[in-house]
A and B are shown apart, each in its own frame.
Chain A
Amino acid sequence: MTSPSERTRVSRIVGIDLGTTNSLVAYVDEATGLPRVIPGAEDRPLLPSVVAFTPDGIVVGYAARRQLARRPADTVYSVKRLMGRGFEDVKDEARYLPFRILPGEGLVKLAVGGREVTPPEVSAAILKALKERAERHFGGAVDKAVVTVPAYFNDAQRQATKDAGRIAGLDVVRIVNEPTAASLAYGLHRLSEGIIAVYDLGGGTFDVSILRVKDGVFEVLATNGDTHLGGDDFDRVLALWLLEDIAVRHHAELDRDCVDLAHDPEAMQELRLAAEAAKIRLSSEERTTLTIPFAGFTYRRDITRAELERLVEPLVVRTLGPARRALADAGLTPADIDQVVLVGGSTRVPLVRRRVQGVFGKTPHSQLNPDEVVALGAAVQAHILAGGITDMLLLDVTPLSLGIESLGGIVNVLIPRNTTIPTSAREMFTTSVDGQTLVDLHVVQGERELAKDCRSLGRFELRIDPMPAGMPKIEVTFLIDANGILQVGAKEQRSGKTASIEVKPTYGLNEAEVERMIEDSFTYAEADVETRMLIEARNEADTVLVHAARALRQGAHLVGADERTSIESAVAALRAARAGDDRGRIHEATTAVNRATEHLAEVLMDAALKGALGSRRAAEILKDQ
C-alpha cells in the first residue's frame, strides 16, 4: 500500500452521474475525505438532463426544462435512452417523443433546432454544463471525469458515453456502473462486509447488481437489468391513462374545438409533466389532485396511490426477473443477501419497495439520497483513480456475453457474462481459401444462441498476406477493459506480424465523426455562455412584461396619467431592448420597468387587501409579518 507522501497525484478528476432525468457532478473533499455534490445556480444539486436547441443556441438544465411544453419539437429529454442505439431499436418509443428521430441505418439521429444531432452530442451538452459547473466551483479547468452508466449498458452504449465526454472536452478516464458506484458511496462508512444487492431503478434504466464486500474489495458477482425501463415508463402509462380519461370526460370540448390531444406535442408534454408530478406526490400521499389547463377547458381529477400502482405494476414486475437471474448467476439464494440498497428516484415509489422486499426477503434501505448516491460513488471512484484512496478496490463485471458469429450464424461465446473485468480471450482463426487476404469477424453481445438475436457490436476485418488455405494462424485477442469496452488486437503467428484491423461499429461514431463533433461543439460553445445569459435575460424580461401588462390592465385607473405614461414608455423601451442582442440593455430596461411599476404594484396590493383588512396600507401589513 502506498503512503500518502509517495502517492502520485493525477490532476483533479470529477465524478459525473449522467442520468436519464437528472445529472450531477461530485468530487471528494480533501479536508473531510467525503464525496460532495457540486450545486449549480440557486444551490440546486441536480441538473435536469434536458437540452433545448433554440435559435439563440443550446440551453441545458432547468431553463431547458421550462421549454419542454413551449418548444417540444426542439427540446430533447431522456436522450440516455437513445445512446448507442439504432432507429429500429427506438422507433416504438419515438412515437411518444415530441422531437423528431430520423429513420436510417446505424446510430440514431435527431432533427432538432434546424439541424441533425446524434445522442452523444446531446449528452455532450449536458456534460459540458456539468464541467462548467465544476470549473466555476474550483475556479480552474476540469478536464477529466469518471462517468457512470447503467451496469447493463452494452459496448455501443458505453462507447457512446465516452464519445459524449470527448465532444464535451472531457477525458472520460473511467466508465463506472451505476449500482457499483452506489455501493462505493455506501461503502465509505455505512456498509458492513457481506453480500449486498443493489436495486437501481432510475428515470430510464434498471440495474440490479450483487456484490461481495470484503477487506475493502467490492467484487461484483453478477449483474442484470433492462436499459429501457424506468420512471419515464411510469409517467407514460399514467399519461396515456389520463389521455383516455380526458377523452371521456371532455369529449364535448374536444369535439367543439376539433382538438386531438394525442397529436398535440405541447398538450402531451403538459400531460406527461403533470403525470410525473402526480406520481411523485403519490409516493408520500395516498391521494392527489391533478389540474391541467388546456386551451378551452381545465382537466381536474383525483387519483389515488392504488390507481397508480395498478397502472405501473406490470412495469415493476419486469424488474423482478432480472433480479432473480442476477441472484442465480451469483450462485446465491435470497437468504445469502445481507443488505439490499435502493438507488434511483423511482425506488421512492412504495410499490417498488414492497416488490423488492418480496424478491430478496429483506427490508431494503436507502439512507443516502437515491438521487445523489451514484454521483457520490463516481466521485469516490475518481478519487481512487487520482490516488487519493488506496484501500478500496472495485472489481466489476461485464454484463453481457461477448461472442463471435461462427458458421451457421451460431454465436461462439468468448467471454461469458459476469466475468470480472478487465478480461481477455484469445482465439485462433485461419483461412478457408487459397490466397485469402481478408478474414471478417462479426462480434456480438448477448445471451442468445443465434447472432441475429444478439446485439451486433461491429465487424472487424483482418488483413493478412496471401497464403495457402489453412496456413495462416491468426491469433485474435478480445480485451474488455475496466470500462467494459471491447478492444480487439490480432497477430498472424507465422509471420509475427500484427494484422491490420478495420472496425466498423454497428451503432457508433467513427473517429472522423467524433472529431467533427468536437469542432462543432467549439463553434457552438463560443456562443453558449453568452447566449445562455442572453436567453435568461430575455426570459426575465418576458416575465416582467407579463406582470406589467397585467398591472396596467387591472390598475391603470388607480394611478395618475404621468405615472401611466412613464410605465408605458418603460415597457416600450424594454420591448425594443428585448428584440435586440444587447444583454446589458435588456437588463437595464427590465430594472426600469420594475422601478416604474413599483408604486402601481403597491397600490394594487393595497386595493386587493382593503376589503378584508380595513384601511391599513398593505405595505405596512407586509412589513409587520
Chain B
Amino acid sequence: MVFLAEGTLRKSFFEVFGLPRKLAVDPAELQRRFYALAREHHPDFHQSAPPTERARVEATSALVNAAYRTLRDPIARVDYLVRLEEGRETREGDAGRPTAPPALLQEMFEIQEALAEAKTGALDDATRATLAEQRVALRTRLAGEEARVTGPLSARWDAATPAERPAVLAAFKEGLATRAYLRTVIDDLTQALGEDDVAEREDKSVAHRRH
C-alpha cells in the first residue's frame, strides 16, 4: 500500500477530455479521445520511469478511466454534472436508502403497504399479480424518467444561460432522486416476489453460489 502521489490532478472529467461542460457527447468521439489518452497515460508505457513518476501516471490513468466511465453513460454524466456544479466532487460517505420525493409519496403509499405485508408473510397469488403489474408500471415510469433527464432536460442544460442553470440543476436533482427512489422500490418488489435478475435466477437452479 502506498499513498497516492501528491498533486493528484484535480481536473474535471469534462476538462480531462477537453470537452465543454455540456451534456451532449458524441460516444464515438469520446471513445477516440479515451483511447488516445489511455495510450498516453497507461502505466504499461511508463514501466521504466522513477517511482514518483509512475505513481503520477497511475493517478492520471485512474482519472482518465473514471472520466470515461462517467461521461459515456448519460445518467452518470448528469449525476456528475450536478455534483460538479455544486462543488461536491467527492461523494460523502452515505449509503442510506433514497427517500421518496414528495410528488411520489402518495402514489407509492399503496405499494409500500403491500411490500410491508409481503415482508410479514407469504404472498397470495392475487397480491403477487398486483405487485408484478406495479413493477411493470414502475419500470416504464423509470425508463420515462431516465429519458426525460438524458433527453429534453439535458438539451435544456446545454442551451441554458447562466441565469437559467439553477432551475435546470434543480430539475436534474429531482429527476435523479425520483430515479433512485423508483429503482429502490423496483428492487424491493423483485425481492418480495422472490426473484432476482435473469442470470441470478438461472444460478439458483444450481447448488453452488459464489458467496
Contact = CB atoms under 8 A, between A and B. Distances in A.
Partners in one complex: yes
B3 interface: yes
A481 B58 contact: yes
A601 B84 CA distance: 88
B184 to A, nearest CB: 11
A63 interface: no
A91 interface: no
A334 to B, nearest CB: 13
B3 A489 contact: yes
A385 B47 contact: yes
Interface string B83-106: 000000111111100000000000
Contact of B2 (A320, A321, A489): A489
A171 to B, nearest CB: 11
B43 A482 contact: yes
Contact of B42 (A393, A446, A475): A393
Interface in A314-362: 314, 317-318, 320-322, 324-325, 328
A448 B211 contact: yes
Contacts of B200: 321
A571 to B, nearest CB: 55
B65 interface: yes
Contacts of A314: 206-207
A283 interface: no
Interface in B62-121: 62-63, 65-66, 68-69, 89-95
A398 to B, nearest CB: 10
Contacts of B47: 10, 173, 385-387
Interface string A370-398: 00000000000100111100100111000
A397 to B, nearest CB: 9
B3 A328 contact: no
B38 A395 contact: yes
B65 A422 contact: yes
Given A10-B48, A317-B206, A393-B42, A406 B1 contact: no
B185 to A, nearest CB: 15
A355 to B, nearest CB: 13
A396 B44 CA distance: 12
A265 B203 CA distance: 33
Contacts of B8: 477
A422 B41 CA distance: 11
B58 A420 contact: no
Interface in B29-48: 35, 38-39, 42-45, 47-48
A260 interface: no
Contact of A487 (B1, B48, B65, B91): B1
Given A424-B59, A428-B93, A482-B58, A325 B4 contact: no
A419 B67 CA distance: 11
Interface in B1-32: 1-4, 8
B206 to A, nearest CB: 5
B43 A422 contact: yes
Q: Point out which of A428, A455, A479, A482 has the most chain B C-beta atoms below 10 A from its C-beta.
A: A479
Contacts of A498: 3
A424 B206 contact: no
Contacts of B211: 446, 448, 453-455
Contacts of B45: 384, 387, 390, 393
Given A394-B44, A419-B65, A324 B208 contact: no
A384 B202 contact: no
Interface residues of A, number: 63
B198 interface: yes
B21 to A, nearest CB: 20
A454 B66 CA distance: 24
Given A328-B199, A387-B47, A424-B66, A487 B206 contact: no
Contacts of A423: 62, 65-66, 69
A420 B73 CA distance: 14
A487 B38 contact: no
Contacts of A393: 35, 38-39, 42, 44-45
A97 interface: no
Contacts of B68: 420
Contact of A226 (B89, B202, B210): B210
A420 B94 contact: no
A503 interface: yes
A428 B38 contact: no
Contact of B69 (A385, A420, A454): A420
B8 to A, nearest CB: 8
A76 B68 CA distance: 45
Given A321-B199, A488-B1, A387 B93 contact: no
A208 B17 CA distance: 31
Given A420-B68, A482-B43, A412 B95 contact: yes
B179 to A, nearest CB: 17
B190 interface: no
B1 to A, nearest CB: 5
A554 B30 CA distance: 81
Contacts of A455: 211
Contacts of A384: 44-45
B127 interface: no
Contacts of B208: 318
A419 B69 contact: yes
Contacts of A9: 48
A487 B66 contact: no
A449 to B, nearest CB: 9
Nearest to A486: B1
Nearest to A441: B93
Interface of B: 1-4, 8, 35, 38-39, 42-45, 47-48, 58-59, 61-63, 65-66, 68-69, 89-95, 197-200, 202-203, 206-208, 210-211
11 contacts: A215-B35, A328-B199, A387-B45, A390-B45, A395-B38, A412-B94, A419-B65, A428-B92, A453-B211, A479-B4, A482-B43
Given A321-B203, A423-B69, A424-B4, 20 more contacts: A10-B48, A226-B210, A318-B206, A321-B202, A321-B206, A385-B47, A393-B38, A404-B93, A410-B95, A420-B68, A422-B65, A427-B91, A428-B93, A454-B211, A477-B8, A479-B58, A479-B59, A487-B2, A489-B4, A503-B1
